[in-house]
Amino acid sequence: MVALRLDNLDKPDPRRVAKPATLELVDIIDQFESSAPDAFTIINGDFNHCDLRKSSVHYYQQVKCATCDTATLDLLYTNVKDAYLSIQLPKLERSQSKPWITKKVKTVINKKKGLFKKGDSSALREVQKELKRVIAQEKAAYRDKIESLFTDNNMRRVWDGIRLMSGYRNNSNACHISEITLDYANDLNHFYNRFDQQDFSHEYSKLQNVLTDPSSNIVVSEEDVRRQFSRLNLSKAAGPDNVPPKVLKHCAIELAHIFTVIYNMSFKTVEVPQLWKQSSIIPVPKRSVVSCYE
C-alpha cells in the first residue's frame, strides 16, 4: 500500500497544483508497476482535481455514480476493465449530528476551526464563548419545539426529544434465561393460554342473534376501510398473519377494495376468518426465572 499526502491541495486554489500532484501520483504508480507488473492494482481516494485519465497511466475508473449529491468525488481506478460494479445507495434519512446543531452553529464552528489553524488564541477564546452561547440558544429553541408537541398529544416524539437532549441510552440487552427446560416452557404456555379455554358459547349465540337480525344490516364502505388503515400505528407489532401495520398503512388505497369485500362478506355470513380469531401472546416476565404462576 502506498500513501500519498498532497498538502498543497488544501490551499484556496487547488487547481493550480493539480497538475504537479498528478505527475507525482503517476511517478509513484510507475514505480509500483515496475516492482509488480502482473499485480492487480487498485487506486482509491478523493483525487480532488487530479485526473489520471489525462495522464500517461492507462487505468479504468470504476465509480460511475455520484458519491456526493450530483458529483463523483471518491474515485476507484484499476488496471482491469469492469472489475467493479458501482451502485448508488440511498441517502441516510437521519443526520449524525444533534438536531440543535443548526446552520448557525456550524458557521461558528467553522469560524473556530479557522482561528485554530491560525493559532490566534485570544480570538479563539471569544469564539468559544460565542459557540457556547449559540448552542444554548439553539438547544432552548429545540426544547420549546419539543414542549409544543405536548399540545398535539404526540408523546412518542416528546419522549424521543427528551431522551436525545438528556443523552439517555437504553443499553439493557435482551434478557438471557438459563437452565430453561421443556416442562418450564409448557407451564408458561399453559398459564398464558388459559384465556382460550373458557366457554364463550352463550356470548357467541347472543352476538350471532344480533348479527342475523335483518334490521341490523352492517355495510362497510371502501372509504371507511382506507381511512382506518391510514390511521394504523406503525409501532405496533404484527399479528399471527405476520403482516405489519406499515404495509397496511402505506398500501391502504390498494388494499381497501379487497378488504371491503372481505368485511362485508363476513357481516353477511356472520363468520369471521379463522386467522383473525388468533392472537400472539408473548409473555415477558419481570424476573429472569419465574418462581410461581399467579
C-alpha cell at 45: 481516494
Do 233 and 227 meet the contact criterion of CB atoms below 8 Å apart? no
Using the CB atoms, write b or e for 34-63: b if 16+ within 10 Å.
eeeeeeeeebeeebbebebeeeebebebbb
Do 42 and 16 meet the contact criterion of CB atoms below 8 Å apart? no
Confidence at 187, pLDDT banded by 50, 70, 90: confident
Find, among 248, 225, 216, 237, the residue nearest to 280 by Cα. Answer: 237
Mean pLDDT: which of 205-209, 219-223, 264-268 is highest? 219-223
| pTM exceeds 0.75, yes or no | no
Do 123 and 129 meet the contact criterion of CB atoms below 8 Å apart? no
Pick 32 or 248 by higher pLDDT.
248
- CA gap 173, 207 in Å, rounded: 45
Answer whether residue 253 shows pLDDT above 90.
Answer: yes
pLDDT tens digits, residue range 76-135? 788 888 877 777 776 665 555 677 888 888 899 999 988 888 888 888 899 999 999 999
Answer whether residue 175 shows pLDDT above 70.
Answer: no
What does DSSP assign to residue 150?
A: T
